[in-house]
Structure 1
Amino acid sequence: MKNFYTLAAFAAGANALVPRGGSCCFHLDASGGMTGSVGQLSDGQNRIGDNSLSPAQFCISSDGSITDGNGRGCILTPPTTQFQCDTGATPTPGFSVSSSGMLEFNGSPDFIACETGQNGGANIHTTNSSALGQCEKIMLNADSCSAPPAPPAPTSNNCQTTLTSGNFEFPHLIVPIDSKSPDTAFGTQFNGTVTSTISSIFNFDIPQSDSGKSCSLVFFFPELKDLVTSSFSFSGDGQIDFAELSKPADTKTTFNNAPSVSQDLGDITVSPGHSFVVSTFSCPAGQAVAFEMKNAGSTNLNFFQDFNPSPIGLFITVC
């Protein structure tokens, strides 16, 4: 269990933000301790849980400031840091939408929702305080504004098939999709799965520091005896089709709304005890990219993605 939390912290801490130019508009949905769409009172207070309110629209600019659908500046009111939008207000900068679609403030996706006692609604804040009532931790998902990746340019020289500190990128979102449950969003998982009906999408955030470098998409598949903190189950012929997608997945991705394939990278027959270089390309620095693993034969594979010795799963190595 400790390893699961370590892995989650690693993935969340490394999540790069999506750069953007101009303005992009979206709606917000809350997850966590409270769920539901974010609506808005007539005075600009943003609320979760009040079913009498229609979903509010927000627009984010390149400097990280937000305005609502009425053109009001969205601010964090002192001293309680309530997120609301006021007429004539200069919007608070520092907001962004991550590659996985999460609204963040100063790089953090953590918000709190605090009960108001009115129509089941809760106000949104960035920090807790004694002045607030009953509060729950939440995250806010934007239904658009994640920047699409530019197609990586292929290169001829593969990067290394070993993981050392600073030379690899870990997937920040692993999303299974199932043709038997085409409208079910399973959210992000710790495991990658490939079966006759289930495929897995892996999001990678490539930092700006990788500019000018080469990236290799590598599938690591050690033998079971070599694993310390992970495990896998495997049967079938091992044939897996790898593909680059047109944009990243998010926690609401389903089989029916999954991103389209922008480039099929071919079938590889995998077996334990080997590493497989799927593709090598110029690193798309500062962008998010997504790749899919799906069955191309009779493969049944389920593995816990792990960078501890021996690493297992889909990684991007950098050189």
Structure 2
Amino acid sequence: MKYVLSPLAFTLGVSAAALKRPDCCFQLTASGGASGTVGQLNDGQNRVGGGYGAAKYCINSAGGITDANHRGCILTPPTKQFQCDQGVSPTTGFSVGGGGEVTYNGSTQFYACPAADGEYNIYTKPVDGQSKCVEITLSTQGKCASGGGQAPSASTPVPVSTSVPVASSPPPAGTPPSPSAPAGSGAPSSSSTVTSTLTQSTTECPTTRNSPQSSAVQSAPPIASPPPAQSTPQPSQPAGTPSQPAGTTPSPSACPTDLAGAYQYPHLIIPVNSSAPSTAYGTQYNGTVSRGVCSLFNFDIPAAWAGATCSAVFLLPAKRELQTSDYALSAAGGSIAFDRLSAPASASTAWDSVPASGGRLGAWRLAPGTRFVVESGACEAGATVAYEACGEGGLELEWFQDWNPSPIGLFVRKC
């Protein structure tokens, strides 16, 4: 099932009501055949019993749950175990009722199955072959009552696309299915697709802000040489598509432009708009760039990556390679430009409060099948690094950031 991007209608003058509301956070308590506070193992498995400290969770308006480590909480196939994993989008369809009861797709019924003596993993269905699974319910103890969203079915949960759509491009090819990625709240554009549109006016963009960003509204600099072999397009890519200004070619030590090794998914994606410089849109699950519209990306680099090489890589697969995502691209001779930011973004960051640029990294022309290394160097272990992507010239791009085959968007790769 592919995610659906809204028809591109760029006027970024939406009200705050169309944007993602803040996540609501809580702890969980289990009752029934197994009872007690829900805690976590270090790997993100959620457990009842075992004396673990109370884990903290947050639910967004699409019904997706994340934990205190920003891991997406999912139902693992095929057993449907409820656990939280790094670098994945949370399963949607959860909600919190008026009394604090947690539901999934409208049901309050969960199952606890033994994992160790006195410890239980949590599932949405009994595990085949385990006779000691017991029925439980989960409660937030009244926190976040009536929060979150509910999907129509387990196979087609409906998130909300709240990123900034891009103007005048046709909707993604194919029959629009229901999306299944978490995102913020928005207004439905049809009975099958829930979207909100952040639209950009056609007035001239401001030329200054706290972060030096005049390049985001100017034409692209001359584009010269392609990256070295490690980051050149695969055979299916248009020859010479990813290219950069002279002097910004990644070093030969750059990581491969894939996610075959350890990688980090962005923990914040923040759109900012020059036509609404004081408006903070909050974190989204889509990236979007155009003239005067940029997206900011935060990555938390694990401490265990000390001494390794890290590369920020941007991937834009051909649409035939996508299984669960989609994008809309109108290049019109433009390019996507990246800056390294001097400090991380936050959910309250707006155009006029973007952290100062720590350096221009380059600009690349885009076409389906493009992939390239944005930056490479020693991993900044234990730190949060941030990037800004902007559209230059006539480029307009909106994509659903996704790690599923084929990965799409900006990632930090370790090698």
Aligned counterpart for 1:221 among listed residues 316, 322, 334 = 316
- Offset of 1:238 from its aligned partner? 3.9
Aligned to 2:392: 296
Q: Which runs of 4+ in 1 moved over 2 A?
A: 1-4, 30-34, 93-96, 104-109, 134-138
Q: 1:267 aligns with which of 335, 345, 363?
A: 363
1:204 to 282, 299, 306: 299
Mapped to 2, the partners of 1:105 and 1:316 lie a distance apart of 21
Asked if the contact 2:290–2:392 (Cα under 8 Å) also holds between the matched residues in 1, the reply is: no
| 1:23-67: CA deviation from partner (whole Å, max 9, x where unpaired) | xxxxxxx94469xxxxxxxxxxxxxxxxxxxxxxxxxxxxxxxxx
Instruction: For 1:279, give the aligned amino acid.
Output: E
| Cα separation, 2, equivalents of 1:188 and 1:230 | 18
Please show how residues 226-305 of structure 1 align to structure 2 within 5 Å: 226-235=321-330, 236-305=332-401
The answer for unaligned runs of 5 or more in structure 2 is 5-20, 26-52, 57-65, 72-95, 99-138, 148-249
Give the total of aligned pairs.
198
Please give the alpha-carbon distance, in whole angstroms, between the structure 2 residues aligned to 1:307 and 1:288. 20
- Normalized against structure 1, the TM-score is what? 0.54
Which residue does 2:144 correspond to in 1?
136
Name the aligned partner's letter for residue 312 of structure 1: I
Indicate conservation of the 8 Å contact 2:313/2:373, yes or no.
Answer: yes
Q: Distance in 2 between matches of 1:316 and 1:191?
A: 17
8 Å CA contact retained: 1:228, 1:309 = yes
Question: What is the rounded CA distance, in whole Å, between the counterparts of 1:202 and 1:106 in structure 2?
Answer: 19
Contact 2:70-2:267 within 8 A present in 1 as well: no
Change (3 A) 1:257 1:95: farther
Partner in structure 1 of residue 115 of structure 2: none
Kept after mapping to 2: 8 A contact 1:168/1:316: yes
Question: Of Structure 1 and Structure 2, which has the larger fraction of its residues in strand?
Answer: 1
Q: Which residue of the partner structure matches residue 283 of structure 2?
A: 188
CA distance in 2, matches of 1:105, 1:190: 17
Distance, in Å, in 2 between the alignment partners of 1:163 and 1:282 is 18
- Partners of 1:155 and 1:282 within 8 A in 2: no
**Aligned partner letter, 2:286:** N
Give SS of 1:201's match.
strand
Instruction: Find out whether 1:307 has 2:315 as its counterpart.
Output: no
Give 1:54's aligned residue: none
Identical positions, percent:
39
Structure 1 Cα separation of the partners of residues 405 and 68 of structure 2: 33
Q: Name the amino acid aligned to 1:299.
A: L
SS state at 1:315 partner: strand
